[in-house]
Amino acid sequence: MIASLRDEAIREANNASARAVNAMWSREVEIVRSGGEANYRWTFAQARELLTTGKLNGIQVHHIEPVSVRPDLAGDMGNLRFIRQSEHIELHRKEGSGW
């Protein structure tokens, strides 16, 4: 029973995280499309790729407070930021955490 509740909480946090990450990308596309102030300094080529594909190769959305530590923030877009994939890997390596 306890394990199944824990598994369900993990599933919910992962689902909330995935929704927030997708929403972050969608919002960024709309900001760039409308000429608003983006959350990252995109190059012209990156902005074009973002508008074409909805995401960027080599850029990931990172949880500032890890979901493993703060599952309550898993779906909070205020807890997310765009970072280079290499930086993302290094941050997780330093934290000793998984994805």
How does pLDDT run across 7-47, given as a tens digit for each residue? Answer: 899 999 999 999 999 999 999 999 999 999 999 999 999 99
User: Is 20 within 8 Å of 76 (Cβ atoms)?
Assistant: yes
The number of distinct structural domains making up the chain is 1
The DSSP letter of residue 99 is -
- The number of C-alpha atoms within 13 Å of 91 and in the hemisphere containing its C-beta is 16
Q: What is the pTM of this model?
A: 0.85
For residue 7, give its domain range: 2-95
Per-residue pLDDT of 43-80, as tens digits, reads: 999 999 999 999 999 999 999 999 989 999 999 999 99
What is the per-residue pLDDT for 18?
97
Nearest to 42 by CA among 59, 27, 30: 59
